[in-house]
Amino acid sequence: MLPIVHRNIGWIEVICGSMFSGKTEELIRRLRRAIIARQKVKIFKPKIDTRYSEDHIVSHSDLKIPSLVVENVWDILEQSLEAQVVGIDEAQFFDEDLVEVCQKLANMGKRVIVAGLDQDYRGEPFDPIPQLLAVAEYITKTHAICVICGNPANHTYRKTSDEARVIVGSDDVYEARCRNCFVLPREKESPVKITKRTSRKKKRSNE
Ligand code: ZN
């Protein structure tokens, strides 16, 4: 996707989806084209993700591009002042300030391209990606293929019984699954019960 926008204006693009859906590949593809056009590009990833490389972002298919590792999301702002294009990979590992940092960069006239998981292994929205989606100009949802049945996969299934939200791993720990084949650990024990729930919004307004 090449946004039909214009000089001197920034914007935010988000590439999100499950693991093995090609998010990083798509991020690298967009950044490469900007580099070929001799735009000033800066690329970042959080310190937590050292699965493949310390100083590159690397896709599962072994595409790679040099990147800077940052501990704090505000470091991205500081180090991007000269950049025209800012790429951020594994964005779900940053805290909620990511949204403010991306907004500031876009307001400064930069193209900001962010890739990240939109759901955790329980299928819950993975902050701060949902908040970023709300303010982004362009959203691309990538899909993997379900390893069980071959349907498009929207979920990341954890094969181990660990319950921490963040466990860094690859296909040794995770696999892509579709809605039908994605079963939450707690539902394995007790089949899905349909209980009537008051909508959260309604509840709030009654308080
Ligand atoms: Zn499936």
* Ligand 1 midpoint to CA 155 (Å): 10
Report the alpha-carbon distance of residue 182 to residue 51 in Å, rounded.
Answer: 24
CA–centroid distance, 182 to ligand 1, in Å, is 7
Compute the distance from residue 123 Cα to the ligand 1 centre, in Å: 15
Higher pLDDT, 104 or 194: 104
Higher pLDDT, 195 or 16: 16
DSSP 8-class letter at 56: E
Rounded average pLDDT over 9-28:
96
Mean pLDDT of all residues in 55-62: 76
Ion ligand 1, residue ranges at CB < 5 A: 146, 148-149, 151, 178, 181
Distance CA 15, CA 165 (A): 21
Task: Retrieve residue 91's tokens.
Answer: 């964005």
* Residue matched to tokens 């069980």: 148
pLDDT digits (tens, 9 = 90+) for 78-115: 999 999 999 999 999 999 999 999 999 999 999 999 99
Q: Are 57 and 64 in contact (CB under 8 A)?
A: yes
CA distances from 66 to 10, 55, 99 (A): 23, 6, 23
Reference 15, options 27, 4, 5, 3; nearest CA is: 27
Confidence of residue 207 (pLDDT cuts 50, 70, 90): very low
Q: What percent of the chain has pLDDT over 70?
A: 83
Tell me the C-alpha distance between 19 and 27, whole Å: 14
pTM of the model: 0.85
**What's the CATH superfamily of 11-206?**
P-loop containing nucleotide triphosphate hydrolases (3.40.50.300)
Quote the pLDDT of residue 199: 61
Helix (H, G, I), strand (E, B) or coil at 139: strand
* pLDDT of residue 20 exceeding 60: yes
The residues annotated as belonging to the active site are: 90
Report CA(199)–ligand 1 centroid distance (Å). Answer: 29
